[in-house]
Structure 1
Amino acid sequence: MSGDGVGDNDGAGTGDGEGQRKQRSFWKELPLLIVIALVLALVIKTFLVQAFSIPSDSMQNTLQRGDRVLVDKLTPWFGSEPERGEVVVFHDPGGWLPETDVPDPNIAQKFLSFIGLMPSAEEKDLIKRVIAVGGDTVECKKGGPVEVNGHALDEKGFIFAGNTPCDDQPFGPFKVPKDRLWVMGDHRQNSQDSRYHMDNADRGFVPVKDVVGRAIVVAWPLDRLATLPVPDTFDQAGPGQAAAVVGSLAAPGAAGLAGAVPLVLWRRKRLTSRPVKESGPHSTGPGGGTAG
């Protein structure tokens, strides 16, 4: 009978008393694979990138209903703040979204949403374009363009075809407070953005602390794969002080699984290739043989 972790019992021992560990069963490695995948998914969702689904038309034609976008959550950890022209996801500042009754999630649903494997019904997030940042002066008169620091924005490249910049809800001029953002949807006549919340406590401004991150890529469907760059017109608005409801998808979970597989395979390779010294009265001698 061969000893635990020793090579095949075929009478061919190693000359130096070393053997090879048996390769562990995949099913024994599976729990480790799952744990690593879950931890990586949580880290990716919390600190790196998160996927969101677009369920409304408020950002057409830049974003269509059903698009999936990837949101950069890493750069804010290094002190970066939203800039003009960026498309950002942010938590409801209060009163932007209607109160709706949602069923209480069970423990499994809470866990899966916590690690990013399913949307959270409890989170209330929106997606809009940043028009002005803290320190900027912004206004839009009926029949005119949106102006930031006296510069008229050329929005033809991203505003919804046939829409006016603000004829449905003119505003300003006013100065954006520090650590606040003025945001608007690209489909102006179908977006309940900053203009429609000027009577709220935040006067329509979005606190920078409520920003989840910047949407950087349309990742799905594949025929709409595209980046979300800042339009050139925002570069001409002068310096400021700061350099639709969406639901999270399973991208962090998929990325976590992708990261866990190589780690587990690497560990398996190390375990199976590590030599094992035999010791004791039943060790293999110089002439070969099997352990009894």
Structure 2
Amino acid sequence: MDTEAQHTERDRSSTTEERSRSARVSGPEARPGNDALPRTEPEGGPRTGPEERRAAAGGWTWRRTGFVGGACVVFLLLLSHFVMQPFLIPSGSMEPTLHVGDRILVDKLAYRFGDRPRRGDVVVFDGTGSFLQEPAGQNPVTGLLHGAAAALGLAEPAETDFVKRVVGVGGDRVVCCDKDGRLTVNGVPVEERYVLLGDAPSKVPFDIVVPQGALWVMGDHRSQSSDSRDHLGQPGGGMVPVEQVVGRADWIAWPFGRWSEVPPTGAFDAVPAPAAGGHG
């Protein structure tokens, strides 16, 4: 038997195995001082949770859903604060035009660019200083949460917010009533077809001149409306400063069966502008 040939064959096999091992450990694990074990992955690929698997598959995760939901709420709050606010009608003072539970859309830009409230407009305003002399105290946190819900039309408006119809603007003389029981503005009788059927224009007689920069407002359900008439003897005389107007009610958005524009009125079309220098 040729032993020398056997030794030569074994030497060649050893050399081949050493080269193979050298090739396998080449890379980061083979660098001097790096004694880290090579990384291994579990059978079937890396393990991931349900969130990661849904994200990898292009589905929605709770985190993504929460982020999108929060962004939508912020957008709606900004839209409500600056452009268009939903407003929940809490009482029947504007029937039949607006019903309890209606959600109207209030255009906050209606009077921002030089335009002013007109006779017949249905407006939302802050009654602080005119209808309410002092705002009611409230817990700040509760007030913040309620304000956010009200801004989205999910809760009743603040106690300082009111919705009424503009009957007189600056300089107008508004009188109730003439010999036929009609309200007059600047001497012209007004046919108020929007007033609830069976209601008198007013059971409280009055004769007032609206100061410049103010409004005289009344509800369409006259017998159930607390409006300018109820504050005649108080500071301000029931007049609402124009700067306190939040916006104009343009649409009834909810319920869907009542989706419509807030009906405009031509009741004041024949009313002339107030006399220069006011009324005597």
TM class, shorter-chain normalised? Answer: 0.5 to 0.7
CA distance in 1, matches of 2:157, 2:95: 24
Larger Rg: 2
Equivalent in the alignment of 1:189: 223
CA distance in 2, matches of 1:240, 1:100: 33
Q: What's the TM-score once normalised by structure 2's chain length?
A: 0.68
Inter-CA distance 112–58: structure 2 relative to 1 (3 Å threshold): closer
Q: Structure 2: which amino acid aligns with 1:129?
A: R
Residue pair 2:178, 2:184 contacting (<8 A) in 1 also = no
Equivalent in the alignment of 1:147: 184
Inter-CA distance 180–95: structure 2 relative to 1 (3 Å threshold): closer
User: Deviation at 1:141?
Assistant: 2.3
Equivalent in the alignment of 1:235: 269
User: Deviation at 1:181?
Assistant: 0.3
User: Deviation at 1:31?
Assistant: 4.6
Aligned: 1:200 with 2:234: yes
State the identity %.
Answer: 39
Aligned: 1:178 with 2:178: no
Q: Structure 2: which amino acid aligns with 1:70?
A: L
Give the alignment partner of residue 58 of structure 1, picking from 93, 98, 117: 93
User: Deviation at 1:40?
Assistant: 1.2
For structure 1, which runs of at least 5 residues remain unmatched after alignment?
1-21, 242-292
Give the alignment partner of residue 165 of structure 1, picking from 195, 201, 206: 201
Give the alignment partner of residue 44 of structure 1, picking from 67, 79, 86: 79
Aligned: 1:135 with 2:164: no
CA distance in 2, matches of 1:233, 1:120: 30
User: Deviation at 1:197?
Assistant: 0.6
SS at 1:85's partner residue? Answer: coil
- Post-superposition, which runs of at least 4 consecutive aligned residues in structure 1 deviate over 6 A? 98-103
Give the alignment partner of residue 64 of structure 2, picking from 26, 29, 33: 29
SS at 1:236's partner residue? Answer: coil
Equivalent in the alignment of 2:22: none
For structure 2, which runs of at least 5 residues remain unmatched after alignment?
1-55, 276-280
CA distance in 1, matches of 2:119, 2:255: 27
CA distance in 1, matches of 2:191, 2:157: 37
Residue pair 1:133, 1:240 contacting (<8 A) in 2 also = no
Q: What is the correspondence of 1:199-218 to structure 2 with a 5 Å cutoff?
A: 199-218=233-252
Inter-CA distance 93–112: structure 2 relative to 1 (3 Å threshold): closer
RMSD of equivalent CA atoms: 3.0
